[in-house]
Structure 1
């Protein structure tokens, strides 16, 4: 139970990708403003995980949902978008690291085919 007397059903507890990835926008959209703390540099790296873990509970407490199915339907959209963005970001990071590795390898690789010209 929270400060306004709303009991959080155990069925809705769990990870919320939307609250994790889109924390500030998700918070505003769900009328819960604790995710705005993600605007604090440095602190946001920790708080985004808190948002992911507690997001469903906060949204339930602040929202006006008639039943669990309606809540799940609304949060499913946020979850899909958040998970997709997480996967895209992860792929981007992996490609970036691979690209940097490739560039560094090419810059340091002589390959034994160096063509040095000696001027006499």
Structure 2
């Protein structure tokens, strides 16, 4: 795929957890500024997924990587951090909703004396 004059190898394409979870910071770190669109309220809900899907391609096009292995090595750190962030966020949200459900359940079942 040729965009902006820089060929994107097949080995580069794919999901990027770092671009998904850390959009703005990942974008600045990889000299690609489309993730700054995540600052737009409501639009960002969709745009984080676009960043996850297109992030590797954007980073390849803006970076000075010698080969795919070097690129993957750099992005693997972002991917690990992004995946850990995503898992922790889902765990926290799950605990939050369980606690809310328990609170609502106990409030509706409370007896007044």
Alignment TM-score > 0.5, same fold: yes
Structural mapping, 1:42-57, within 5 Å? 42-57=42-57
Structural mapping, 1:28-67, within 5 Å? 28-67=28-67
State the alpha-carbon separation in 1 of the partners of residues 3 and 36 from structure 2.
19
Quote the offset at 1:108 in angstroms.
1.1
In structure 2, the CA distance between the partners of 1:92 and 1:115, relative to structure 1 (3 Å rule), is closer
Q: Post-superposition, which runs of at least 4 consecutive aligned residues in structure 1 deviate over 2 A? A: none
Structural mapping, 1:1-120, within 5 Å? 1-3=2-4, 5-110=5-110, 114=111, 116=113
Unaligned runs of 5+ in 2: none
Quote the offset at 1:115 in angstroms.
7.3
Per-residue CA shift, 1:12-59, capped at 9, x if unaligned? 100000000100000000000000000011110011100000000000
RMSD (Å), alpha carbons: 1.1
TM-score by length of 1: 0.90
3-state secondary structure, aligned to 2:75: helix
Unaligned runs of 5+ in 1: none
3-state secondary structure, aligned to 1:32: coil
